[in-house]
Structure 1
């Protein structure tokens, strides 16, 4: 049987080796002699603050004895949250994530500790310590998985928002895992949760899921808008991040996008006209006016987009003129223009030359300041790269075509977008006979990265 050492024994051994008295050690550690004596003799338990002082006085790295602290004072002991809470915060500060996992595993058999751990997780999340908070949320969610509680739903919501990141496969998995818990959130949180879910599926071009959750978002936002109208002015209530009509209009915009993806341009235009007219929103505050103006502008842009994707090239010049002075809209517009050019086989060289500098900046920069989410922008850049590669390869401009194809493959590999990786491989296979030796080497290296990621 393995005997677990104790921090007290380690301290006692240190004092003997250094031939140091309790008083001398206490002076170094900033603790009085009585406190050191009580710790050494076992007459007093130890706090994480005292452990940190002792560790520093012994000349050891921060957190050196945290595993022993868990063994000595947490595992096989009745959980004492006055000791555990500061210990968890300290572990989070030092990024001792394994220690946090051990503590959670040791105490979460008892549901009585869920509320406190949830509270700690919320504080850590507010501090930006997402990795530490995630462990606590997962622990609470696992312990309460059969409770059907709102706290469980909030934990799953937090887990979803933390897990969503650059890796698109993992983001998709996080979204799917969160889906069943939306209805357990309160009505206000549901609006923001559905918006977040729609944006994830939007960046992944999951059209069916976009439509499902955009529809749910629109219905709930409409109900919330009506409830707000019936409230007494000045009544204090929980508010969503945006006014309810914004969620409703956004849901119509998304449904229009889905229709355009499915080439149902007539229905897409109906949705676009629906969110263009927000005259029924009577508030005149600054935020309301701003959003009404924004959706009207999006409706104009998306009407051009709709017509262009349906094959009406007569709007092309007006479309370019309208978006050229709107920085946030230029990338999506250029993407759609090249997609339409590939679909209907018309020339857009003059437009690409006109915005050559902007296109280069889109493809080179890792982060772009924009109204849109970074995930949306990343997906647009990848899709744009793919459309440009198709455009140039089809025209026999192989150098340009392979440049954009390799750019698309590199960015798709970086965020683990398997759909685009497969498209890049298929497109390369169709034109590989025109690839230069340098292009072939770069392509093989990128494919090697993909294979290593899959291993």
Structure 2
């Protein structure tokens, strides 16, 4: 196999073909004549910026010479001032193959992993998660101090990146990351515990949610009592928020387990924030949020205890919200439990229900908890309508619930959907039966290939 001509050889060939002098080519590329001449003669180092200018001047794709740049300019002389801009550019252009080649060269030198970590942090913030994951993984593998904060932070970032629609993968990511929490900076520990709690909340692991929430509260109270935090590290939220959020999670745990008396204690705790010392606008914003959530959680407690008189107040709160599926889930669940007629409420929010879209956010609560709640909502709504004899719409909701259960790999909810369908199978028309059987076969095949992961769903 013949070797590809060098970048310089291709430049020389292009200049001859086009009849261009080095000065003329310099005008085209924005490079001075001396730079062009030095690069062509091979006695001048070339930056990635200069390479991009040359490539554009030759009317070639931006990354046309990148593989040869690694061979000619990096493998022979790995200098960070040249490598760093090249890695950023490779990430921007999606050339992960070139990133991998360069990184594998650099890992032989102990000075480079910390620098690669900084690049990983930058590209992670910019949303290039595939490249960031590769860099974090390589930095983690090179970390010789197994209790280092950098190793823990790499694992935290990998945990965040790996979270997706598949509940089995999310659970595995949470299990693998959990041992690294204590090695993080004390501020990062709070966000890590919050994120782990929200993942287990989406999996309905309520005992684990409670354990994580209480640990987050304990650590946040300690820091808040000290009235300080690392000047180089600020929490993503005010410190008191983690304390109040732990109580909000405690209320969610009690709600899920049907313990509304204890749940009321946690609701009152995140409603009364008179102990908060700060009074700046951000603090007031968060206090307002928690007090609003407390009002709605009081409504939930009353509703789930069978008090239907609270529905008008609950609906009034919902009308001011953009995302209402958690509230609708509570209403439909109460309707099924206590045989309530909620048709007028469903009619009022029919446009929002019909226009439902999967939430998109980097926040793990929005990313994980809301899709799970939406899947359960469609199941509860299917049950409500099927019991009332509204079969076409009830089956439509049930098939939607099954599809969403499959998407998030909630095998237990998918099984529950199947049980409800069998209960009303005799009422399904042939078209619905065919649609359901096709989807259920897809769900079965998918779960059969995943070694039988199942999750509890109370």
Question: What TM-score results when the alignment is normalised by the length of structure 1?
Answer: 0.85
Q: CA deviation at 1:185?
A: 1.4
The answer to whether the 8 Å contact 1:324/1:330 transfers is no
Q: Which residue number corresponds to residue 347 of structure 2?
A: 356
Deviations 1:56-114 (A, max 9, x none): 22221110111121122223x35211111110111122222222222222212333112
Query: In the aligned structure 2, how far is the partner of 1:365 from the partner of 1:98?
Result: 38
How far 1:214 moved relative to its partner?
Answer: 0.8
- State the alpha-carbon separation in 2 of the partners of residues 424 and 296 from structure 1: 36
| Separation of aligned partners in 2, 1:13 and 1:89 | 29
What whole-Å deviation, never above 9, does each CA across 1:269-301 have from its counterpart, x for those lacking one? 333333333333344444444434443443343
Give the CA deviation at 1:169: 4.1
Kindly tell me the number of residue pairs found equivalent between the two proteins.
Answer: 444
Q: Which residue of 2 aligns with 1:211?
A: 210
CA distance in 1, matches of 2:405, 2:8: 53
8 A contact 1:301–1:319 mirrored in 2? no
Q: What are the Cα deviations for residues 396-415 of structure 1, in whole angstroms up to 9, with x where unaligned? A: 43223211111212333444
SS of residue matched to 1:355: helix
- Where do 1:71-110 residues align within 5 Å? 71-75=71-75, 77-110=76-109
Q: Alpha-carbon deviations, 1:367-389, whole Å to 9, x = none?
A: 56999735433222211111111
Q: Secondary structure at the match of 2:349?
A: helix
Q: Which runs of 5+ in 2 are unaligned?
A: 450-458
**Residue number in structure 1 paired with 2:44:** 44
Q: For 2:13 and 2:45, how far apart are their aligned partners in 1?
A: 18
Cα pair 2:247 2:266 within 8 Å, conserved: yes
Q: Among residues 251, 256, 268, which one is paired with 1:256 in the alignment?
A: 251
1:220 matches 2:219: yes
Matches of 2:416 and 2:72 in 1, distance apart? 56
* Structure 1 residues 60-209: aligned runs within 5 Å: 60-75=60-75, 77-144=76-143, 146-209=145-208
User: Which structure carries more relative contact order (alpha carbon 8 Å, separation 6+)?
Assistant: 2
Change (3 A) 1:80 1:400: same
1:428 aligns with 2:421: yes
Equivalence for 1:303: 298
Instruction: Tell me the residue number matched to 2:372.
Output: 379
Matched, 1:321 2:320: no
Distance 1:447 1:43, change over 3 A: farther
Report the Cα distance in structure 2 between the residues aligned to 1:102 and 1:397, rounded to whole angstroms.
60
Deviation of 1:15 (Å): 4.2
Unaligned runs of 5+ in 1: none
Distance 1:422 1:73 in 2: 58
Q: More deviation in 402-411 or 412-421?
A: 412-421
Q: Distance in 2 between matches of 1:239 and 1:23?
A: 52
Flag the 1:188–1:436 CA change in 2: closer, same or farther, 3 A. Answer: same
Cα distance, 1:218 vs structure 2 = 1.0
The 8 Å contact of residues 116 and 135 in structure 2, kept in 1 or not, is answered as yes
Shift of 1:336: 1.7
> Cα distance 1:282–1:81, how it changes in 2: closer, same or farther (>3 A)?
closer
Identify which range, 169-178 or 91-100, moves more after superposition. 169-178
* C-alpha distance in structure 1 between counterparts of 2:291 and 2:21, whole Å: 78
Structure 1 residues 131, 357: closer, same or farther in 2, change over 3 A?
A: farther
| Deviation readout 1:16-64 (Å, 9 max, x if unpaired) | 5556554454444333444333323322232112221222222211101
Indicate the SS of the match to 2:276: coil
Tell me if the contact between 2:359 and 2:371 (Cα under 8 Å) persists in the aligned partners: no
C-alpha distance 15-296 of structure 1, shift in aligned 2 (>3 A): closer
Instruction: Work out whether residues 113 and 139 of structure 2, in 8 Å CA contact, stay in contact via their aligned partners in 1.
Output: yes
